[in-house]
Amino acid sequence: MSSKQPTVWMNVTTSHNWQRPAVGVVRVEKELTEGLERLIGSAGFKRCVWRENRFVEVHLAAPAVSQTAVSAPPPPTSALDETPLLFPLLPKKAALAAMAQAALSLTPARLRPFANRALLSAKFRLGRYLQNRARATASGTAVYAPAPAHHESQPIPGVEFKAGDILVSVGLDWDHPYWRSFAMLRKVYGLKVVTCCYDLIPVLYPQYCVSDVAKRFTGYFIDVAEGSDLTLCISKQSERDLKNLLSDVGGVDVPTHIFPLGDNVIASESKVSPAIAQLTAAPYVLFVSTIERRKNHEVLYRAYHLLCARGFKDQLPKLVFVGMPGWGVSELLKDIELDPLTQGMIVQLNHVSDSELAHLYKHSEFFLFPSLYEGWGLPVGEALALGKAVLCSDRGSLPEVGGDLVTYLDPWVPEAWADEILRLSTDKAALAMTEANVRANYKIREWKDSCSSVHIALQSLQQRLFSQMLSPGYDMQTEIGQHAGSALIGDKSGWLMRGPQRAIPAGTYQVRIDCNDYSSDVAAIFSVVSGSSTIEHAVGDMEVGNGGDGGVTLHFTLSEAVHDIEFRCWLSSGRLSINNVVIDQAA
């Protein structure tokens, strides 16, 4: 057995390309990357990013030792060195062109297995989709065709990606094409893929999203579930929503793991701009979030409008929005700008640094979070971690964050928000009592605990034994056989089954090749090979059983991972149907 441990690859494409202060998903990716590297160690942890339709390794750039070189290329903008290493994934047109060129170079006799395999693969995917669609239609839920997977006859990836390695991808994956390759990475190259579900907002609340994003996200979640060995979820709510969607559309019931998001805020306030210092010299309340429809800044504006109309303007602190404008809020921002009643009471801040954000949290009167739905609600936890009273929406996962330490309000009722804002703004004793309760009872969630939780899940995944069932009619090539659904049937001498030339990790294996239809005079030899069929790992004869079932069980051990394992059957005489091939790794 090889002593080399599997490598954990962290896909840092999102944070690598991010040019603004880290928020939301970006912060999660950064925190997990740094924390997992500390826990796993540099020997077993590597970073990669998506570049030009392939993954490349990235390294933390070493500090410069000389400034005299003039011919060296400029470093990447993110101060990371990039090294192409893993595997090329061609765009669709280029992939089809490469396949056509490869087909033209083959002789007619060799072309038939290649063409058959491609057609059967397409047939299998179409059947899988139609089955999912039928199940979804029966349940009254719309379903959309998943994106086409990359062809399985891709060039083998480089040596850095090996069977048994783990690829962790927790960024803005839906904004990049690499998620379409996850199923192939698992099935063909033997990687274990870990993804993340933050929320299902585009599916559950398409009215808060741009264009047809809801349609695309339904297909995205179906495909990612099929391409994942494990999906991390940031709350019980997001896990429940994901499970419900996959059940409704007939998707894969992917294993999940809930991990807490850290809410410890950077304590340093050493770099606060004069503008922030001036703003925080007077009382204010705080709402930290991208300004978009779902976050529901509108209910706070309406609450302030109501209070100002009732004559309470002089008793109110300013309302500070920290976040960049998003989609669907231009009219709201124009209303705020032009409303004479709230003039000067609502302030918007962009591009706030971590130090400035900590300062804003610390010096606020209290915190507001009226979102219509959240997969978690990180700012609520951050405010509680700093001992602040919180008025919060009662929707989505937000009650998971605040427990019984938060005052929950209906996000659709501005009158309720107006009453509570006025109460905490004018009743200092009530505000102080609420803050004291938060400081005494809120348990801060550390990012190190988030990383430890994910690390434990990865360790469990590393220990999960390899198991795979192959359908010869879909996954294997044949020279003398016929395809009958998932089975291969042959009645003359020759190679009945060869394939699938995939990667599997080091270990001891049992392979069961099941045959439930054969003639009494059948004679067949089964074998397990790799190294372009030059290394034989196991060989066995046909086992004829009673009652019309039979097959062969082979055992073999791999001292290191291989990238082209192949299961073969040479039929010498008689008739034989091969129905499935089950590979199980021994403990």
- Mean pLDDT in residue range 182-187: 90
Query: Does the pLDDT value for residue 117 go beyond 80?
Result: no
- Mean pLDDT in residue range 104-108: 42
Query: Does the pLDDT value for residue 104 go beyond 70?
Result: no
Query: Does the pLDDT value for residue 124 go beyond 80?
Result: no
CA–CA gap between residue 269 and residue 203 (Å, rounded): 39
Per-residue pLDDT, 380: 96
pLDDT band at 100 (very low <50, low <70, confident <90, very high): very low
Sequence ranges of the domains in the chain: 8-62+73-90+156-258, 274-445, 467-585
Domain 8-62+73-90+156-258 and domain 274-445 have a common topology:
yes
Per-residue pLDDT, 69: 28
Per-residue pLDDT, 551: 84
pLDDT band at 409 (very low <50, low <70, confident <90, very high): very high
Backbone torsion region of residue 494, taken as left when φ is above 0, otherwise alpha when ψ lies between -120 and 50, otherwise beta: left
Q: Say if pTM beats, i.e. exceeds, 0.85.
A: no
| Comparison of pLDDT for 430 and 124, the residue scoring more | 430
CA–CA gap between residue 490 and residue 478 (Å, rounded): 9
**Strand (E) or helix (H) holding 9:** strand 8-11
Query: Does the pLDDT value for residue 384 go beyond 50?
Result: yes
CA–CA gap between residue 236 and residue 252 (Å, rounded): 19
Give me the amino acid identity at 511: V
315: burial class by Cβ within 10 Å (0-12, 13-18, 19+)? exposed
For the chain, what is the mean pLDDT?
83
Closest CA to 199 of 241, 166, 163: 241
**Angle at the Cα of 53 from the Cα atoms of 49 and 56, rounded to 5 degrees:** 30
Which residues of 206-310 form beta strands (DSSP E)? 230-233, 256-258, 284-288
CATH superfamily of 274-445: Glycogen Phosphorylase B; (3.40.50.2000)
pLDDT tens, position by position, 262-297:
987 665 656 788 999 999 999 999 999 999 999 999
CATH topology classification for 467-585? Jelly Rolls (2.60.120)
Per-residue pLDDT, 267: 59
CA–CA gap between residue 275 and residue 282 (Å, rounded): 12
CA–CA gap between residue 499 and residue 566 (Å, rounded): 5
Quick check: helix, strand or coil at residue 126? Answer: helix
Per-residue pLDDT, 549: 59
Per-residue pLDDT, 4: 67
Query: Does the pLDDT value for residue 231 go beyond 60?
Result: yes
Query: Does the pLDDT value for residue 67 go beyond 50?
Result: no
- Mean pLDDT in residue range 171-175: 93
Query: Does the pLDDT value for residue 91 go beyond 50?
Result: no
pLDDT tens, position by position, 305-341:
999 999 999 999 999 999 989 888 999 999 999 999 9
CATH number of 8-62+73-90+156-258: 3.40.50
Q: Report which listed range, 59-73, 134-148, 354-368, is most confident.
A: 354-368
Please compute Rg for the chain using Cα positions. Answer: 29
CA–CA gap between residue 392 and residue 367 (Å, rounded): 8
Per-residue pLDDT, 21: 67
Q: Which residue has the tokens 């009619």?
A: 473
Query: Does the pLDDT value for residue 95 go beyond 90?
Result: no
Per-residue pLDDT, 239: 97
CA atoms within a 13 Å half-sphere pointing along the CA-CB vector of 118: 14
CA–CA gap between residue 218 and residue 142 (Å, rounded): 9
Per-residue pLDDT, 542: 79
Quick check: helix, strand or coil at residue 182? Answer: helix
pLDDT tens, position by position, 159-172:
378 889 999 999 99
For residue 371, give both structure tokens. 């979102």
Say if residues 501 and 532 touch (Cβ distance below 8 Å): no
CA–CA gap between residue 457 and residue 449 (Å, rounded): 12
CA atoms within a 13 Å half-sphere pointing along the CA-CB vector of 184: 20
CA–CA gap between residue 350 and residue 279 (Å, rounded): 14
- Mean pLDDT in residue range 149-168: 62
- Percentage with pLDDT > 70 across the chain: 80
Give me the amino acid identity at 27: R
Closest CA to 136 of 67, 222, 199, 75: 222
- Mean pLDDT in residue range 15-20: 87
Pairing of strands 494-504, 562-573: antiparallel
Measure the CA dihedral 103/108/112/113, to 10°. Answer: -80
Query: Does the pLDDT value for residue 65 go beyond 80?
Result: no
Per-residue pLDDT, 166: 96
Say if residues 226 and 188 touch (Cβ distance below 8 Å): no
Query: Does the pLDDT value for residue 108 go beyond 50?
Result: no
Which residues of 474-561 form beta strands (DSSP E)? 482-484, 487-490, 494-504, 507-515, 517-518, 523-530, 535-541, 543-544, 550-558
